[in-house]
Amino acid sequence: MSKHRWFEDLNTKIQNGWLLLDEPLNKYTKTRLGGKADIVAAPGTMEEVQAVVTYAYEQNVPILLLGNGSNMVVRDGGVRGIVIYMANFNHIEITGDKMVAEAGAHIIDASRAAAKACLSGLEFACGIPGSIGGAMAMNAGAYGGEIKDIITRATVMDNTGKIFVLSKDELELGYRKSIITEKGYYVLSAEFRLTPGVQRDIDLTVADLTFQRESKQPLEYPSAGSVFKRPPGNFAGKLIQDSGLQGKGFGGAEVSTKHAGFIVNKKDATATDYIRTIQMVKDEVKKKFGIELEMEVKIVGEELSE
């Protein structure tokens, strides 16, 4: 069955959201890289998410869940099948010390909402440019805090369209991993337990973390954040720096001169440039230190066909 047929079929199922054919994904990724998706579907209701997922399951069409595209490198040939974009699900609700956030909400907005309600626990996320769904999937963390510290449960969907709730333990959150990525579940929403705090302390922590991030990270260029996971007992950035790789790369992609753990799209890079640069870093660090760097970013999609 062709993408045009999927598009026609899905058009009858999505009334509240939107649907695009042959949509360039570089608009949705923080690296500004990536070819076209056959279809980008942004459902407007949970029933529509379920309808898209069930359709894909029945017709055997691959699905990719796209959050805020901040930890994803999409290859230049793009993505076959349906990309589900959860941007229409961005509601954040606070009741007492409990926060429920929908998958498409930005975790930065959740962090801001918590601070405004004088709740502590989400300060660490004040500069993480991901969605709640992506942050849950990756167990995002920074400056000593991580999703695992505050999550109580998440509502997820499996690839057949079945919806269920997973407790914190069932989410199996580890260093930049979870049962979500393991089993390919789709996060619909997450519930966090926060702690009543002191407004001034929360604001000072957020200001301090923002300063640290802005002074150390190359936020002026498109990137996917830290490309590699921290190897046990070491730091990826330090190994890359000590390998003399800063400023090196392919095409418009370059190992950041500001933070060696980042690879930036300095000027008109392609995903191929970016991925070649990742491989070059892995090879050089392996050669120099005998350490195999593991990727934190997710590389998805297809190579450009000749």
Give the interface with ligand FAD as residue ranges (CB under 6 A).
Answer: 30, 64-72, 86, 103, 128-131, 133-135, 137-138, 140-142, 180-181, 186-187, 217, 219, 223-225, 298
Q: How far is the CB of 48 from ligand FAD (least distance, A)?
A: 14
Nearest to 74 by CA among 227, 228, 300, 269: 300
Q: How far is the CB of 29 from ligand FAD (least distance, A)?
A: 7
Nearer to ligand FAD, 120 or 223 (CB): 223
H-run or E-run covering 179: helix 179-183
Query: What's the rounded Cα separation, in Å, for the pair 282 and 96?
Result: 46
Question: Which position among 226, 243, 254, 256 bears the catalytic label?
Answer: 226
Query: What's the rounded Cα separation, in Å, for the pair 256 and 169?
Result: 37
Q: How far is the CB of 288 from ligand FAD (least distance, A)?
A: 26
Nearer to ligand FAD, 71 or 270 (CB): 71
Residues with Cβ within 8 Å of residue 208, at least 6 apart in sequence: none
Strand partners, 40: 20, 83
Nearer to ligand FAD, 101 or 128 (CB): 128
Query: What's the rounded Cα separation, in Å, for the pair 263 and 148?
Result: 27
200 is catalytic: no
- Residue showing tokens 């979500």: 180
Q: How far is the CB of 202 from ligand FAD (least distance, A)?
A: 18
Contact in structure between 159 and 53 (CB atoms under 8 Å):
yes
Nearer to ligand FAD, 30 or 153 (CB): 30
Question: Which position among 75, 153, 176, 230 bears the catalytic label?
Answer: 176
Query: What's the rounded Cα separation, in Å, for the pair 82 and 60?
Result: 11
Nearer to ligand FAD, 198 or 210 (CB): 210
Q: How far is the CB of 301 from ligand FAD (least distance, A)?
A: 12
176 is catalytic: yes
- Long-range CB contacts (within 8 A, 24+) of 232-238: 234/291, 235/261, 236/260, 236/261, 236/285, 236/293, 237/261
2 is catalytic: no
Letter for the amino acid at 290? G
Nearer to ligand FAD, 17 or 67 (CB): 67
Q: How far is the CB of 299 from ligand FAD (least distance, A)?
A: 10
Query: What's the rounded Cα separation, in Å, for the pair 133 and 66?
Result: 9
Indicate which residues carry an active-site annotation. 176, 226, 296
